[in-house]
Amino acid sequence: MFRPVIKDNTIIEDILRRALCSTRDGRLYVVGGCLRDWALGQPPKDVDLAVEDAAPTVARHIAKGLDGHSFLLHEATQTARVALPSGLWIDIVQAPDGLEQDLRARDFTINAMAAPAEDYLARLSNGRHAPVKGKRPQWIVDPLDGWGDLKNRKLRLCHPDSVNADPLRVLRAVRLITALDLGVDDETDIRLRLAVPRLEETAAERVRDEWLSGLDRRDGYRYLVEAARRGVLDVILPEWRDSEGLVQNGYHHLDVWEHTVEVLRLLGALEPPKDLEPLVTTYLDELFTGLHTRRGLLYTAAVLHDIGKPTARTEDENGIARFHGHDRVSAEQSRAWLARWKFSQREKTFVSNVIRLHMRAGSVVGRDATPKAIYRFFRDAGDAAPALLLLNIADRLSARGPWTSDEEVRDQVDGSWRMLGRWSELLTEANLPLPLSGRDVMREFAMPPGPEVGRVLSAVRDLHDDTPFANREAALEAARNVVNDRIPETDLNNGTATADNNVQ
């Protein structure tokens, strides 16, 4: 499933017609980001509606007609949500005190406009957008001149206490500033900065979702830079300060933090070969969990991939900085960070695996990589393999110190694209089913559950990667040789980067 972007107006038209049929007095409004994006001529990602009463009833009616699921998002305010099978969300806000009061209580003026659904629907049906550079249409309800602020590319709070009412709006402001290229009203700027420490009071799940929404753009690096500039990153990811100004070695021309930003910038700017473009786009746009895409999770991994370098940093006898094992340390620290912000178990595994294996990606795309090392990489990386290869390209392009030659970088980039083209084939080869289970090992050798069972299975698995076993008996024979020490235990880290190369 993919995060929807509404490029076809027919789905919005269908939603609005069904919603209009279910309102008691026909007073239905399109509000918030949905209207803002329409004014900018951009396709919305969600549909936001407002009614004066019976929001749950409207939600149920829409859900029933479109095979969706409706539920109460906030019981106190009777705000309802419809989740459609396509992944599209429809939020219906109930405004019992009137529409204008609801708009004045919102976050920013550019999100505090509303349009009667009938008028909005008529413009959609004609395929018309309102150019924001022009005069505001008379049928748009805009008590705080959000249209003027949008026209002037300015972010302004709806009221002085807006950000105190919900500190998450500090992080949302960073997203809007960078996504829409906005300046910030002076008073708004002061209030946003004063409210930054209160982000810690916000539910971790909400911070996580807003973080991914801001980062999940091709220019996501701008979001990261703005978050750091505004002090927001000091609350969300205070570890970044240890990377700022941390000098690396001759493989790098940037310090650790500058390198991180550059990796993120280049990730968004990558242009795959024509034949790989559909694969890369589909892979990154696909919803990984809930409404979180792989792109957002890969970009999060890019932000964290060197977070352990300050801890891992040592100097050799010549005073040269080394970062041996930084991939492992970064993976460990990232798991703690991901847990803090309530990422799902599957998301934590994906992101930490990308970080843990990011040095191995560089070791298997070279022309001297052995088939065994390549198979093991794809076996261990699984679904994260394309993410690792994309990160490797950006990582290598971002390390252009005097010790790095253009030819080496070119070989890494070309090799990564080449390996990405073989992803499906290599993943299949690297995951041939092993005709042996832990239960088989325990039964055959009267072995209790424990790490020894895993050791035997890992060694047999490595032998299977070299020459697949035809049946269970052949795999058992190999297990007997491992148990009897007739075959040395395979180096399970074969294919990882050596210490001398572990400098990224």
What are the extents of the domains in the chain? Answer: 1-152, 154-236, 239-431, 433-504
287-289 vs 292-293, strand pairing mode: antiparallel
Contact (CB, 8 A) for 345 and 245: no
What is this structure's pTM? 0.85
Tokens at 174, concatenated: 């960073």
Residue 327 backbone dihedrals phi, psi, to 5 degrees? -65, -40
- The position carrying tokens 């042996």 is 436
* Alpha carbons 253 and 249: distance in angstroms, whole number: 8
* Alpha carbons 307 and 310: distance in angstroms, whole number: 7
Tokens at 180, concatenated: 């829409």
Handedness of CA 176, 181, 186, 190 (dihedral sign): positive
Instruction: Please tell me if the domain spanning 1-152 has the same topology as the one spanning 154-236.
Output: no
321 DSSP β-pair partners? 315
504 residues of the chain, pLDDT tens digit each: 445 556 667 888 889 999 988 886 668 999 999 899 888 888 777 889 999 888 999 999 999 989 999 999 888 788 999 988 877 889 999 988 889 999 999 999 999 999 999 998 888 766 666 567 778 989 999 999 999 999 999 999 999 999 999 999 999 999 999 999 999 999 999 999 999 999 999 999 999 999 999 999 999 999 999 999 999 999 999 999 999 999 999 999 999 999 999 999 999 999 999 999 999 999 999 889 878 999 999 999 999 999 999 999 999 999 999 999 999 999 999 999 999 999 999 999 999 999 999 999 999 998 889 888 888 898 889 899 999 999 999 999 999 999 999 999 999 999 999 999 988 777 666 566 778 888 988 988 888 998 888 888 888 877 776 677 878 888 888 899 888 875 444 443 444 443 334 445
Q: What pLDDT sits at residue 25?
A: 67
- The position carrying tokens 């924001």 is 132
**Distant-in-sequence, close-in-space partners of 274: CB < 8 Å, separation ≥ 6:** none
- The position carrying tokens 């792989």 is 294
Q: What pLDDT sits at residue 82?
A: 93
Helix (H, G, I), strand (E, B) or coil at 233: helix
Q: What pLDDT sits at residue 431?
A: 62
The domain defined by 1-152 folds into Beta Polymerase; domain 2 (3.30.460)
**Residue of 74, 103, 96, 86 whose CA lies nearest to 46:** 86
Tell me the CATH number of domain 154-236, given options 3.30.930.10, 3.40.50.1820, 3.30.413.10, 1.10.110.30: 1.10.110.30
